[in-house]
């Protein structure tokens, strides 16, 4: 199984920008930890970061037929992008929304997520550990999906006999 991690604007600046909010960990370090967790749980990982909304939409669409899950930190686009929300809704792939900071403890305009209604869940405010929690959640979701698919296949096989 494969999960794609999509990182939005300014996340390439982790470890440099606003360490009082986002901490000192760099994006590459977060991805290294996620990769290790994925290997332990037979989950292939792909990582993508863009500061451009259209590229993020394109990447979500490319996941269709290529990945079983998406973990996304859409950054500031979380609060503004109907296009990213529509893309998540369109592909119908289990998606987990992640935020390093607690968006509900920040400025009022960050309290609304355009993408949350189309995600399986949202993890916010645990620093870089938010990504680990997303990985645990994704492995659980994908194992449940796989079990359901196996049950359906078994039922179809019984119906043929």
* Residues involved in catalysis: 22, 99
In angstroms, the Cα distances linking 129 to 16, 100, 111 are: 18, 8, 20
- Cα–Cα distance, 85 to 107 (Å, whole number): 21
- Cα–Cα distance, 94 to 142 (Å, whole number): 8
Contact 48, 27 (CB under 8 A): no
Burial 101-111 (b: 16+ CB within 10 A, else e): bebeeeeeebe
In angstroms, the Cα distances linking 92 to 54, 58, 67, 85 are: 18, 15, 11, 11
In angstroms, the Cα distances linking 36 to 43, 46, 63 are: 10, 12, 21
- Cα–Cα distance, 106 to 125 (Å, whole number): 10
């Amino acid at each position: 199984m494969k999960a794609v991690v999509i990182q939005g604007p300014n996340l390439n600046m982790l470890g440099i920008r606003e360490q009082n909010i986002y901490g000192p960990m760099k994006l590459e370090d977060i991805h290294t930890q996620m990769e290790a967790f994925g290997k332990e749980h037979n989950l292939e990982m792909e990582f993508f970061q863009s500061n451009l909304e259209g590229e993020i939409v394109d990447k979500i669409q490319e996941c269709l037929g290529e990945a079983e899950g998406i973990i996304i930190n859409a950054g500031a686009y979380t609060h503004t992008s109907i296009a990213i929300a529509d893309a998540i809704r369109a592909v119908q792939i289990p998606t987990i929304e992640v935020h390093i900071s607690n968006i509900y403890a920040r400025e009022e305009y960050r309290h609304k997520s355009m993408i949350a209604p189309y995600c399986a869940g949202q993890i916010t405010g645990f620093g870089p550990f938010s990504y680990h929690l997303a990985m645990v959640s994704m492995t659980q979701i994908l194992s449940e999906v796989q079990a359901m698919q196996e049950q359906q296949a078994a039922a179809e096989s019984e119906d043929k006999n």
